[in-house]
C-alpha cells in the first residue's frame, strides 16, 4: 500500500510519464490493469486512505486509452492539459469559486484538496457533490464542513445521508444548528435516547423527527419540558400529554390547542387550517386539504403530495426554516389521522 509520503513522487512520475511516448503506453497499460483488477479488490476505506490509488481511481479511462497511442496520444493529452492548466491552479481557482465557478470545473487534484474543496463549498454548498471520493470518506473534513455550514446536510447529496446519516458526531453538528435536519438522520439515531437528550438542549423541535418510543419516554419529555413546555407537549405521546395535563394545572387544554411557534411563511394553504385547533380531527383533514372523513387512501395520497411540496429539501435556502415548520405540522396531522 502506498504511503502518503510516497504519494507526491508516485503521482508526479505517473503524470510525467503521460508526456513520454512509449513509456506512457506501458505505464497506462499497467494503470488500466490496476483500475480493473487491483482497485476493485480494495475496500472503499482502504482505497480512499491510500492517496496514490485514489489518484489512479480518479484518472479517467479515456485518458489512459488515448495514451496507449504513442506520440499522437501524448500530443492530444499535452494540448488538453495546457488548455485546462488554469483549472489546476489553486490560487486561480480559489478566486474563481467566488465568481460561482463550480468545483466540477476544477482538476481532480483540486477536488481532492481539502482547502480548495472547503473554500468551494463555502461559496456554494452544491460543490459538495464534486469533492473527491477520498474527501467524501474523510470524517474530519465532513465534520468541518457541517460545522461551518449545516445546510449541506439538507439533501444536497444523497451520499452524505447514506455515508454519514448514522454518524453521531456529524448528525449532532448538523442538527444542533437546525432541528429539522434530524429528518435526515438514520432511524437508529432518531431512536438514540442519549443523542436526543443532548439535542434537546439546543432545540426541542427535534422531537418532531424522534422515534415514537422516545416521544413516549418520560425522561426525554421531562428534559424537553424544562426547555420549552409548549413544544414538548405538542410532540409528546398522548399518554404523556394526559399525564402532565392531569398532574400539573400549568398544562391546560388551551396550551395544546395550537402548534409550537412556527412561521409557515410562503405556505398560505396551511394558514387557514392553523387558525383552528390543530388537535381536532377536522382540522387535521383541513391541513391535508381534505374533507372530514376522507378515506385512509386519500389521506396517504394527500400527505405524499403535500409533503413533497413543503419538505425543506424542495425549497430554497431562505424558505427552508418555514418549510421545516410546515413539514412538521403536515406530518403531525398525517400521524393523527392514520394512527388507528
Average pLDDT over residues 318-339: 70
User: Sign of the C-alpha dihedral, residues 257, 259, 264, 265?
Assistant: positive
Least Cα distance to 54 among 17, 108, 107 occurs for 108
Q: What is the CATH number of domain 262-340?
A: 1.10.287.110
Please report the DSSP string for 222-269 in residue order.
HHHHHH-HHHHHHHS-HHHHHHHHHH-TTS-GGGGSSPSS---TT-HH
pLDDT band at 20 (very low <50, low <70, confident <90, very high): very high
pLDDT digits (tens, 9 = 90+) for 38-94: 988 888 777 767 778 877 887 889 989 999 999 999 999 888 888 777 778 888 888
pLDDT digits (tens, 9 = 90+) for 236-269: 888 888 887 765 544 443 444 344 444 343 444 4
Question: Could you state, in order of their start, the residue ranges of all structural domains in the chain?
Answer: 1-83, 191-256, 262-340
Compute CA distances 284 → 82, 123, 237, 239, whole Å. 63, 41, 17, 20
CA 214 to CA 236: how far, in whole Å? 9
pLDDT digits (tens, 9 = 90+) for 90-125: 888 888 877 667 888 888 889 889 999 998 888 887
Least Cα distance to 180 among 248, 142, 235 occurs for 235
Amino acid at each position: 500500500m502506498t504511503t502518503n509520503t510516497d504519494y507526491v513522487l508516485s503521482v508526479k512520475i505517473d503524470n510525467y510519464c503521460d508526456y513520454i511516448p512509449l513509456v506512457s503506453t506501458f505505464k497506462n497499460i499497467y494503470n488500466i490493469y490496476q483500475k480493473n483488477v487491483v482497485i476493485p479488490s480494495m475496500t472503499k476505506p482502504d482505497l480512499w486512505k491510500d492517496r496514490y490509488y485514489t489518484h489512479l481511481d480518479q484518472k479517467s479511462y479515456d485518458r489512459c486509452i488515448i495514451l496507449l497511442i504513442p506520440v499522437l496520444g501524448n500530443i492530444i493529452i499535452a494540448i488538453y492539459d495546457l488548455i485546462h492548466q488554469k483549472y489546476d491552479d489553486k490560487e486561480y481557482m480559489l478566486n474563481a469559486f467566488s465568481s460561482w465557478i463550480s468545483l466540477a470545473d476544477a482538476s481532480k487534484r483540486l477536488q481532492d484538496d481539502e482547502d480548495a474543496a472547503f473554500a468551494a463549498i463555502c461559496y456554494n454548498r452544491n460543490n459538495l457533490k464534486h469533492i473527491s471520493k477520498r474527501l467524501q470518506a474523510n470524517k474530519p473534513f465532513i465534520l468541518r464542513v457541517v460545522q461551518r455550514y449545516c445546510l449541506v446536510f439538507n439533501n444536497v447529496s444523497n451520499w452524505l445521508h447514506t455515508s454519514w446519516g448514522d454518524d453521531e458526531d456529524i448528525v449532532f453538528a448538523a442538527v444542533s444548528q437546525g432541528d429539522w435536519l434530524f429528518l435526515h438522520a438514520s432511524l437508529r439515531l432518531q431512536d438514540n435516547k442519549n443523542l436526543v437528550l443532548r439535542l434537546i438542549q439546543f432545540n426541542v423541535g427535534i422531537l418532531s423527527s424522534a422515534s415514537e418510543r422516545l416521544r413516549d419516554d418520560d425522561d426525554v419529555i421531562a428534559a424537553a419540558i424544562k426547555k420549552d413546555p409548549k413544544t414538548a407537549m405538542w410532540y409528546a405521546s398522548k399518554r404523556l400529554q394526559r399525564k402532565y395535563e392531569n398532574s400539573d394545572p400549568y398544562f391546560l387544554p388551551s396550551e395544546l390547542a395550537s402548534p409550537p411557534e412556527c412561521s409557515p411563511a410562503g405556505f398560505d394553504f396551511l394558514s387557514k387550517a392553523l387558525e383552528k385547533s390543530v388537535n381536532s380531527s377536522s382540522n387535521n383533514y383541513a391541513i391535508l386539504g381534505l374533507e372530514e372523513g376522507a378515506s385512509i387512501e386519500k389521506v396517504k395520497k394527500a400527505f405524499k403530495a403535500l409533503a413533497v411540496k413543503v419538505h425543506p429539501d424542495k425549497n430554497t435556502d431562505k424558505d427552508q426554516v418555514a418549510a421545516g415548520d410546515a413539514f412538521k405540522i403536515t406530518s403531525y396531522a398525517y400521524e393523527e389521522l392514520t394512527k388507528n
